Structure 1
Amino acid sequence: MAQPSGIRTRHPRPVAVFAARTASRARRSLVGLLMRLPGDSQATDPGALLRRFPEASLLPLRRHGLDPVPELAERRAAAPVSRLRMPLGLRGWLVTGHPETREVLAAPAQRFSNDFGHMVGKVGIAAEDDPGGLGFADPPGHTRLRRMLQPHFTARALTQQEPRVRRAVDDAIAAVAAAGAGGAVVDLQQLFALQIPSRVIMELLGIDDTDREEFHRLSSVRFDFADGATSSFDAIAQSISLLRTVVAKQRVEPGPGLIGAILREFGDDVDDVELAGLADGVLVGGLETTVSMLALGAVVLLRDRTAWDCLRERDDHVGTTVEELLRYLSVVQVGFPRFAAADAAVGDTFMLAGDAVFPSLVAANRDPRLTTADGATTVADLETFDHTRPPTAHVAFGHGLHRCVGAELARLELRIAYPALIRAFPDMRLAVPAEELRYRQVSIVHGLESLPVVLG
């Protein structure tokens, strides 16, 4: 593999110094931009900041209805790792191939780093700007924090969560039935898709009812770039600020949920920033993503009445259908950006230290090289939804070190909610033509603005 111009392997020390400086500059520029967005002078025009980004850089955040934009498949066919135009002269790469995405996601921090600590003290970034949590942490810090969360998402812990999920589903169905009496149009997103994960995740965390509505609002805004990057990053800052307030309160009097449990077990071994970041990660992974899955999955099933009827009639088919919906929809469109910690190659593509790497999960999950879950064979017709498809090695929950810790809780909610909805309202249909549904246009987590239905 040829070396890029300007790099000479016979001088290891200058190369190492250059690589470190390149990595530092890229990280400072990208994170400095994102962290400063809420106070930007153009905040009065939410779209102004979004317009700074080259249109090509927004490609991973766009969709055509339920499907990825065709350009993703075209890029994947031409090169599964390709340059992504970025602002501020940054070097970015978009990974669209499935094997390449898994390689990046599974790589150790010595190859691709998530660590926020590289930014502290540079371009106005202070330690208190660290959002905390797992997404911006490398081992050993990541390992330490994940161990605090993991016991709350084991198979045994999820067994204890199941009654809570079933109560939330039953209550949501009752609310839908009441609102849809007499043929009235019901917004299934608000009354069903939002209510179930919201109740489950807020009770799991131990967040008071009085704070839930604000967390709902911020969770929705943070993933939608249609109103500009300012709104999204401001929502992140507000959400973390609220969680730090919750943590500070529970440090004095621990509550019954996950936040209180971690404080009781670890006490002063975890600070407010770290714990608020952990809670924010659970909130992010367990609320808006599951809301989108429930709503978009309902659209898919309403369009495929064979799959709809199969879920109503066969309990043994639920798991297979849920896995296919996760793959097909891939609501988290792009994973956390990684930074090349040293010069590296992914497939046939050579990267410099400091380059930003963006794994497109939705593109990877439709790669013709995707295999069955056991890795034995590739699967066909991935642009279509097939409820009979054997489970695949999809990356809807990520992969490797940063794989979603709440993946099994999300699966539990989906496996309970879809059949319950269909059995309660077997004749449900869309209240508008499918092409009139309004989807997010530029978003990290794909979703709907609303889902109007009639019950029969």
Structure 2
Amino acid sequence: MRQEPRTAAPAAGENPALPDDEPLTLPADRTEGCPFDPPAALARLREEQPLRRLRYDDGHVGWLGTGHATVRAILADPRFSSRLELMHNPFPGLAVGELPAAPIGDLTGVDPPEHTRYRRLLAGKFTVRRMRALTERVEEITAEHLDAMERHGPGLDLVGMYAHPIPALMICELLGVPPSERDEFKRLAAEVSGTGATIDEMMTAFAALTEYVRELVAAKRAHPTDDLLSDLTTTDLTEEELAGIGGFLLAAGLDTTANMLALGTFALLSNPAQAAALRADPGLAETAVEELMRYLSIAHTGVRAALEDVEIDGRLIRAGESVTIALGAANRDPERFPDPDTLDVRRRATGHLAFGHGIHQCLGQQLARVEMRVAFPALLTRFPGLRLAVPPEEVPLRGGPGLYGVQRLPVTWDEE
């Protein structure tokens, strides 16, 4: 199903055409019936001016980057900080005021030299070679969950039975969670990322999960095994840093991949020709995964703070100003990707920004790639008649400022 560019009038609050120097508010509303497209207003803004003034809810006036080249340049420039406490929140309707500093161990919210120290310790654990070595285990876990789906029979939620448990178990493998504790670990992880939970419930679950990781770190220090946490106990990281990094790896590697597997399946089932192409040729998995990452851009928006005056696209960004980066719009930039609103699993979508760019590019991207390259074609091959069990407009979507995805994905198939 081709997603055509939209030219309808902007919805309320989505900024009619404005002069370049007049601040706008961040477009957030997606076009009804187009669940895979970024807000249409972002495409118009990208065409008019890929770097525009943006008014934040707290009154701060910063910037919005929408073009691929613009966003890539900002992500690559060390003069832009990732420290949360330096940023302003761009999302309308959320609490304003100063953001807290990133939790200990969170690589995404710190700058060098702290970021460099953490990244150097972890980078060797996430090499392409090491992640590819996990492919066999990913295949086993995937087959187990396909078997469970077959035993269950048609009519199930793909999120709960496939998209969430596969990356959850791979995180267990990576961190060395004992098999006897994995059900409890998965339960806590599901509560942390639960789309129906309140903020307080999610924070309570995250605290319980962090405490579990803290106890796991102590166990690994006393009795190391062949896993990432055991490796890290031999470094100069403190107990608090080890627990924080464990929690960070969980948050960064579970919810993102689970959302990609679910929303990616929704996109493939909504584009039958693309699903058929991948089913007929599983060798397309590599290009299909990169294209789905580009096309969906589930981590759709980021923020950076200027540490000094910086000129981008001929415009002067002053020290202290926040710059919001619309990754979804950048990955749909026709100057970088021809016919960008069409899903094409044969496209070589190299250069997409779905994993970020620069020093903060996703550390676990190779593991995520392995999981998706296995899980998508395996699902389509095992269930060639897989289809949505509800009309597309009834699939409950997950919006908000964090990750975009689906809350549930009801699917069915015809039994032979």
Distance, in Å, in 1 between the alignment partners of 2:207 and 2:157 is 29
1:440 aligns to what?
398
Q: Provide structure 1 residue ranges, at least 5 long, that are not aligned to the other structure.
A: 1-54, 371-378
Give the CA RMSD over aligned residues. 2.9
Structure (1 or 2) with the larger CA radius of gyration:
1
- Note the C-alpha offset of 1:388: 2.4
- Note the C-alpha offset of 1:118: 7.2
With over 3 angstroms needed to count, the CA separation of the structure-2 counterparts of 1:367 and 1:251, relative to structure 1, is: same
Distance, in Å, in 2 between the alignment partners of 1:317 and 1:125 is 42
For the pair 1:190 / 2:157, whether they are aligned, the reply is: no
Question: Which amino acid is 2:104 matched to?
Answer: P
With over 3 angstroms needed to count, the CA separation of the structure-2 counterparts of 1:130 and 1:309, relative to structure 1, is: closer
Selected match of 2:237 from 228, 246, 270: 270
2:346 aligns to what?
388
Selected match of 2:103 from 130, 141, 154: 130
Distance, in Å, in 2 between the alignment partners of 1:332 and 1:275 is 25
- Note the C-alpha offset of 1:62: 9.7
Per-residue CA deviations over 1:215-247 (Å, capped at 9, x if unaligned) read: 3234424xx6x8776666666666545534443
Distance, in Å, in 2 between the alignment partners of 1:92 and 1:232 is 30
For the pair 1:257 / 2:223, whether they are aligned, the reply is: no
TM score, norm. by length of structure 2: 0.82
Selected match of 2:25 from 34, 44, 56: 56
Q: Is the 8 A contact 1:106 1:400 kept in 2?
A: yes
Distance, in Å, in 2 between the alignment partners of 1:233 and 1:91 is 30
Selected match of 2:282 from 315, 326, 344: 315
For the pair 1:282 / 2:252, whether they are aligned, the reply is: no
For the pair 1:177 / 2:150, whether they are aligned, the reply is: yes
Q: Is the 8 A contact 1:116 1:130 kept in 2?
A: no
Per-residue CA deviations over 1:81-113 (Å, capped at 9, x if unaligned) read: 2233223333332211111111111111xx111
Question: Which amino acid is 1:364 matched to?
Answer: A
Q: Counterpart of 1:395 in 2: which secondary structure?
A: coil
1:204 aligns to what?
174
1:114 aligns to what?
82
Q: Is the 8 A contact 2:274 2:343 kept in 1?
A: no
For the pair 1:292 / 2:259, whether they are aligned, the reply is: yes
Q: Counterpart of 1:84 in 2: which secondary structure?
A: strand
With over 3 angstroms needed to count, the CA separation of the structure-2 counterparts of 1:358 and 1:242, relative to structure 1, is: farther
Q: For this pair of structures, how many residues does the alignment match?
A: 379
Identity rate of aligned residues, in percent? Answer: 37
2:313 aligns to what?
347
With over 3 angstroms needed to count, the CA separation of the structure-2 counterparts of 1:115 and 1:255, relative to structure 1, is: farther
Instruction: Name which structure has the greater RCO, CA cutoff 8 Å, separation 6+.
Output: 1
Distance, in Å, in 2 between the alignment partners of 1:168 and 1:308 is 22
1:22 aligns to what?
none
With over 3 angstroms needed to count, the CA separation of the structure-2 counterparts of 1:395 and 1:177, relative to structure 1, is: same
Q: Provide structure 2 residue ranges, at least 5 long, that are not aligned to the other structure.
A: 1-23, 88-96
TM score, norm. by length of structure 1: 0.76
